[in-house]
Each structure stands twice: as structure tokens, then as C-alpha cells.
Structure 1
Amino acid sequence: MGIEYDDFLDESYTPASDDLVCEFRLEPGEGMDLEAAAARVASESSNGTWAALDVDADVSRLSAMAYDLQEDGTVRVAYPDPLFEPRSLPQILSCIAGNILGMKAVDSIRLVDCEWPEPLATSFPGPQFGSDVLTEKLDAGGRPGLATVPKPKVGLPTEEHARVGYEAWTGGVDLLKDDENLTDQNFNPFERRVTQSFEMRDRAESETGERKDYLVNITAETDEMVRRAEYVDDHGGGFVMVDIITAGWSALQTVRRRTEDLDLAIHAHRAMHAAFDRLDHHGVSMRCLAQFSRLAGVDHLHTGTVGLGKLANEDTVGINDWLKSDLYGMTDVLPVASGGLHPGIVDTLLDHTGPEVMVQAGGGIHGHPDGTKAGAQALRAAVDAWTDGESLDARAEDVPALRTALDKWGTESPR
């Protein structure tokens, strides 16, 4: 049979129930119309090539089909189930977000969204805990979970890191968190940091009567990540953190398999995501990165601050809704809001996100004029006030630390 680009375009196509449907937005390359560019996208991302082929085997069952072309450059492409290896994110992404991002047939192309069929989606494990970490591992039922990264985010010696954690925990924060670039450096070695931080965690739990934990960054080469996860488990931790984009999807899937045995939740940091999603006309959307993360099995994922923090705005609410949506019974993911948050903007943030979220503040705690513990008290008071339906100013009358935070930062977002 012959295979040409026209075989990958059918505007009347109706996807099969087990097709993976991807929505792209593209700008055709020079000399191309939208139909020609869309056909080349479907061809290159499945089983076509630039030259017309004559082959004996019937390979049409593996061919993607472009359809539903819109004037704004939106194109939907349906991929047949046999094209994919189940439970292999790298193979799937090599198809739907691989060579097509560099084709001359398009000036730009963005993977905007995916509709996951049941057979492919359920081949993945999904999260172990998701939003249930708020009650299964923490005492944050009915309110957002609270986390903090010691500041400066790198450079603190181990003893100071653990002390800052203790101050934050006793001030009302649930979770201490490593930053994305703190792993196993000489100034704060991994094993010593884990050991001393959990000693301070235990002390804070004893004093507050609340469960506390630590999001330990285990990001490294894959085998080393597994070893570090086991070390965290040996020292009484309930969470690990992975820089999922820089570590890679295969590594994340390996970590997910081991953490299930260890009963550890995975906190996903999205460092490097903007290399894929910052441009609105090219790359891979954060919505899709969030989908890949849920399939692979993370329990928390940074999804933005609805434009309130220091990072660029994005569809935080839409992404959060997808992470919590029904996906053939798969466990949800707890969204994490982080990056430039402080007590004065928490109420506006939560008006958008609702209570099933983790609020993470760094400078908005440690930059408090009265220190880390007061900063943690201020953040906890702000979140509790929102949960109770009380204004920040009213709560500040009873919580001096909150009053000080509001006087310092007001209700403005940092840049």
C-alpha cells in the first residue's frame, strides 16, 4: 500500500474510544496551509515520513489522524492505541511531543491538551495518596496544608537548616521543604540534613501535638534517588521530593514504584517547566505536564499562584481542576501554590483555589520582621482566618505576628 501525507488528514474523522486525542495549536511553515501542516504533524508523530512509501504490510492501524481544524490554528490529532507502549511515558511523549516540535512544516506548535483513553490511562499507577495526604500524613483536614523552604534556599549549614525547620514547624507550618537545587552539597550533606531535620521534626511534633513532616529532595541519578528514598523512610519520613522535569519521566516512574513499597508520598517540583510552557504558541502546556505527572504518580505538584506570586501567570485553576477530576477512578493530585506568597495575599489565592491545596511560602515566612516562627504563625493565622470565613484584619487583632506581616507586605504581590 502507498502512504502519503494525505493519508493522515480526515476532517470528518470520529475518534475511537481508545484513541489518545491531542489538541495542538500551530502556525504553518512558509508555503504551507493548515491542512498540509496538520497532516505532517500527524504523520511525523506516528508512522509517516517525508517520502511517499509503498509497503506490503497494512500499517494504517498505527497511523495518527488529524481532524477538526480551526481557523485559529487549533488541530486535533487522534492516535490509535496500538501505537503506544502501555505505562511508558517516554515512548508516548516521543510520539506526541517529539520531532514535531522542530519540524520546518510548522513555524510554531504547542501541545495544548490531551484526552486520555481508559486503556492507556489505567496502565499507569497514578498517585498513591493525592489530596488524602492532608489527613493521612498530616493534621490538615478541612484547611490547606502549609509548607516552607528555608531561606536562603541554598547555603545554610545543616544545623541552621534544621533549626529553621523547627521554628517553622512550631509556628504552625506542616511541612519543611528542600528547594529544587538543594540535594547533597558539602555545605549541607543529604544524610546529615535528613537525620538532623527529622530530630527537630520529632521535637516539634512533641511540642505542638500535630503531625509534621519534611519534603526531602532526593533528585539525583535514578539509582541514587531510590537509595535516598529508602534513607528517608529509614528515618521516619513520609514524603520525598523530585524535580520531575530535570530528573526525567523514566526516573520518576522508577521512584514511584519504589515509594509505593515504602509508603512515601511524592512531592513534585516542576523546575524547568517554563522551558516547555512559557511561550503560549510553542512547546508543551503546563496542563499537559500536569497530566503526565498525575499518570506517573506524583501526589503533589506545583501549579502556580493564579498570578499572585512572583512567577508568570498561567491557567492555575484549570490545571488544578483537571488534577482533581475523575480519571477512571485514578487518585487525584494535591496542587501546590508557591512562589512569592505571603500572608497578605493568601485569602485571595484561596478564593480561587479552594481549601484542597498546599500553600508554600519561603520569603513570606522567613522575611517576617520577628523571624521564622512569627512568620509561620502569621501564615497559619491567615489560612485559618480564610478557613473560618474571617477577614485577615479581624484575625490580626488577635495575632500580632499576622498584624506585623500585613503591615510589612500589605496585600501586594512581589515581583
Structure 2
Amino acid sequence: MERVFAEYLIETPYKVEQAAAVLAGEQSSGTFVSVPGETEELKKRFAARVEDIQLLDLAEEPSIPGGNIPGKKYQQARVKVSWSIENFGYNLPVLISTLQGNLYEITQFTGLKLMDFEVPDSCGTHFTGPKFGIKGSKLSCDVSDRPMIGTIIKPSIGMSVEETAALVKSLIDAGIDFIKDDELMGSAANSFFDDRVKAIMKVIRDNEQQTGKKVMYAFNISDEIDEMQRKYDLILQEKGSCAMVSINSVGLAGTKKICDRGELVIHGHRNGWGMLNRHPLLGIEFPAYQKIQRLAGVDQLHVNGIQNKFWESDDSVVTSIKSCLKPFLGGNEILPVVSSGQWGGQAVETYRRTQTTDLLYMAGGGILAHPMGPKAGVNALQQAWTGAVDGLSVAETALKYPEFAESVKKFGK
């Protein structure tokens, strides 16, 4: 029978073999005490198996509270566990409940993080994955040999519909490929969702009629499921191409429901990610997280950025980008969305470490605060990526392109 395999980083004051067995039992057929129905036949078919254990460091103090035993040291280890596909079939919420359920609360662990998982090939016939992904997203914006260049509506909240539409027009005139609502934008008192969609899409359609280029705008439809469906329909009615979902806020089933419609590119915003990942021995690592979102069908997913404004290391960001580009169940790769304090200066290091232009490269202040205006800001980002792909340094690129040179003066410090 086909099996799902998951790898965890754990920490425990108990024997690792004992703690791993508790994990496997708690997340399948077992509980804290034997019960009459847990027959050998049942366990053989449905019990999780501990497949591998690799011992790592020994810690003097527990990484997180709970399970503390005076005088004990805390063994860290990599543990691989597997389950029969029969346990959950192709039910994504139950699969994730199995991989990430009560095990975070088990006394035996003073640290536990889901690092990665693998599903059998049969999942490819039940989960269609991203409908558009990298290829569809770039094709929609008529971009091929460079990253899509995008930005975010700022200020995040407070602008009127008319002000937002005017900003969108200036960004479109500047040559932008992609614009998105900030995750804080829903339907504010002075900017109702329906009014905003209609005003913005009129600007986008007018530009498409004049130039032939259709800018992608990700409208934030995050809401209750029925209301998300209504908002989705409005975007379609107005000839839009993309909807944004705050995937951690909406939840897995809500995200998948929207993705399953398959008519709009789905931009997955991971706000709240630090809550899931920031502690080194608690939560989930991005290689596992992005697979969950690909199973749900998300087309674009935030990965943070090199030299970002947040806590995440460059190594972690690079791992995230590369994990999005790895084939998974033979479907479209999910488009990595590089953001968080980006300007053209990070393009050189981003390209050097990832060797890809299959990105949505987002800059807010890096475009809007450019000293020569938004058009120069967009040009500077395109120039930065041209220089990066050509093997030029930041200084060499600045000598070649005046708009990028002004970016260096403004943001280079």
C-alpha cells in the first residue's frame, strides 16, 4: 500500500526511539494506553511506522516549555515516519491533521518541527496543483526572460477608491507587470471592495486596449468562503486575472475551494508565517509548507527576499525559492514571490544564489520612493535584473544604467 513519508526535527529528554514511537502512535492508531479495538491486524494496516532516526545535538536546556525533567539533557534528532495512504485517502485537511496535529502538544517533546514530506504518485491524480503557476503567471503578463516586476499598494490602508485607481494608473504607465492589494486591504469604510475592483479594472482594461499589455492585479478576496466566491465572480466579471488569498487566515479548505475554480491566478500571501516557523524547533519548514499550498492549488507564494527587512536569513530564503522550483507530482511549479524591503540592489545576490528568473520580484518603496519617480523605479528593477543575469556587480550595473544608479544612491546604504 502506498505511504506518505514525513521528516521531523525533534528534541526530547526521553529515549528518541521511545519518543518517536509515541509520535507514530498518537498520529495513527494508538493512544496513551492500549484499548480493546487496537488489534494487531488493525495496527498492521493503519499504524504509523518509524522509518529512520538520526541523532543530532544534545542540549542542556529545553527549546520550548513542557516535558522538562530536572537533571536530564535534551536529545535532538531527525525522525522519519510514514503512514498508509488508507489512513486519510486524498483528504487534504486530514492529511495535514495527521502530519501536524496533536504531536506538537505531546509531553515527550521539547521541540518538534515538520521539515518536509513526500506523497505517493497517486496524489497527482487527485490534486491538480497550481493551474497557472510560473508559466501561466508570466504568460499572462507577457514576461519571459526576466522576473515579473511587481509592487504593493501603499499606504496599506486608508486611500480612497479614486486615489488607489490613480496610483494604479501611474504604476501601469511606469511599466509594472503586477500590482497587489496589501493584505490589510479588504473592504474599508472609504474603499469598498466592489468599488475598488471596478475602478482599478477600468484602468487596466483601458491600458490593455491602448497597449496590448494586461497588468496582473491581485485583489485581496480573503473573507468567509461564500463572500470569497462572490468576490471571485466580480473579478471575473470585470475581466481580472488574479485574486489574492491570505492563506493562513482563510485556512486550507478555504484556499483549496478558491483554487479549485481554476479561472484566476491565485496569489498566496503567507502573512502570519513567522508564527509557524520563526522558532528553530517548533512549527513547519518552508519546503513542507509550500507543498501543502501546491496540493491546495496556489499559483504564487511569498518566500521573503534576500537582505529582507524581517528576521529570516538569506540561506532560508534561498532554500524556500529552490523548493518552489522543484518538480512536485509532475505539476506546475509554484511561482516564488520575492518581497520584504526589496529594491534592485538585491537582484545580483538573488540571481547568484538561485540562478533563476522565474520569480515575481516585488518592491514597494523600491519603486514608489525612487527619486526619479515610479517609472524610473520600475526601469531600475528591470535594469538590475539585466545586470544580474549578465554577471555584472551592483557597481557595474550602476555605471551602465542611470535609473539604477539613482536607486543605489537612495537605497544602497
Query: How high is the TM-score relative to the length of structure 1?
Result: 0.88
Query: Residue 219 of structure 1 is aligned with which of 219, 222, 240?
Result: 222
State the superposition RMSD in angstroms: 2.0
SS in 1 for 2:304: coil
Aligned counterpart, 2:61:
none
- Change in Cα spacing, 1:76 to 1:63, as seen in structure 2 (3 Å) is same
| Aligned 1:26-37 pairs, distance under 5 A | 26-29=10-13, 32-37=14-19
Q: Which stretch shifts more, 109-118 or 343-352?
A: 343-352
**d(CA) in 1 for partners of 2:321 and 2:196?**
32
**Paired residues of 2:149 and 2:378 also in contact (CA < 8 A):** no
Number of equivalences: 389
SS in 1 for 2:54: coil
Aligned counterpart, 2:46:
62
**d(CA) in 1 for partners of 2:366 and 2:316?**
23
- Change in Cα spacing, 1:92 to 1:23, as seen in structure 2 (3 Å) is same
Aligned counterpart, 1:39:
21
- Change in Cα spacing, 1:106 to 1:92, as seen in structure 2 (3 Å) is same
Aligned counterpart, 1:124:
127
1:312 aligns with 2:312: yes
**d(CA) in 2 for partners of 1:56 and 1:349?**
52
| Aligned 1:213-362 pairs, distance under 5 A | 213-258=216-261, 260=262, 263-313=263-313, 315-353=316-354, 354-362=356-364
1:141 aligns with 2:123: no
- Change in Cα spacing, 1:52 to 1:203, as seen in structure 2 (3 Å) is same
Q: By how many angstroms is 1:162 displaced?
A: 1.6
Aligned counterpart, 1:93:
96
- Change in Cα spacing, 1:22 to 1:121, as seen in structure 2 (3 Å) is farther
**Paired residues of 2:221 and 2:244 also in contact (CA < 8 A):** yes
Letter in 1 for 2:179: L
Q: By how many angstroms is 1:150 displaced?
A: 1.9
Deviations 1:305-350 (A, max 9, x none): 1444544125333333332222232121111111010122222222
Aligned counterpart, 1:8:
none
Deviations 1:140-194 (A, max 9, x none): 1111011100222222221121222222222121011111111111122111111
1:372 aligns with 2:371: no
- Change in Cα spacing, 1:172 to 1:350, as seen in structure 2 (3 Å) is farther
**Paired residues of 2:244 and 2:268 also in contact (CA < 8 A):** yes
**Paired residues of 1:158 and 1:192 also in contact (CA < 8 A):** yes
**d(CA) in 1 for partners of 2:311 and 2:154?**
18
Deviations 1:73-102 (A, max 9, x none): 11110111111131x221111111010011
**d(CA) in 1 for partners of 2:176 and 2:296?**
28
Aligned counterpart, 1:7:
none
Letter in 2 for 1:27: E
**Paired residues of 2:307 and 2:346 also in contact (CA < 8 A):** no
Q: By how many angstroms is 1:49 displaced?
A: 0.3
**Paired residues of 1:287 and 1:319 also in contact (CA < 8 A):** yes
SS in 2 for 1:236: coil
Aligned counterpart, 2:70:
none
**d(CA) in 1 for partners of 2:282 and 2:78?**
12
**Paired residues of 1:175 and 1:212 also in contact (CA < 8 A):** yes
**Paired residues of 1:164 and 1:372 also in contact (CA < 8 A):** no
**Paired residues of 1:127 and 1:331 also in contact (CA < 8 A):** yes
**Paired residues of 2:29 and 2:38 also in contact (CA < 8 A):** no
- Change in Cα spacing, 1:400 to 1:203, as seen in structure 2 (3 Å) is farther
How high is the sequence identity, in percent, across the aligned residues? 29
Query: Residue 195 of structure 1 is aligned with which of 186, 194, 198?
Result: 198
**d(CA) in 2 for partners of 1:197 and 1:325?**
35
**Paired residues of 2:165 and 2:200 also in contact (CA < 8 A):** yes
Q: By how many angstroms is 1:276 displaced?
A: 1.1
**Paired residues of 1:166 and 1:200 also in contact (CA < 8 A):** yes
Letter in 1 for 2:111: S
**Paired residues of 2:306 and 2:349 also in contact (CA < 8 A):** no
**d(CA) in 2 for partners of 1:401 and 1:302?**
27
Q: By how many angstroms is 1:274 displaced?
A: 1.4
Q: By how many angstroms is 1:287 displaced?
A: 1.7
Q: What are structure 2's unaligned runs of at least 5 residues?
A: 57-76
Q: Which stretch shifts more, 200-209 or 325-334?
A: 200-209
**Paired residues of 1:304 and 1:311 also in contact (CA < 8 A):** no
Letter in 1 for 2:32: W
SS in 2 for 1:53: coil
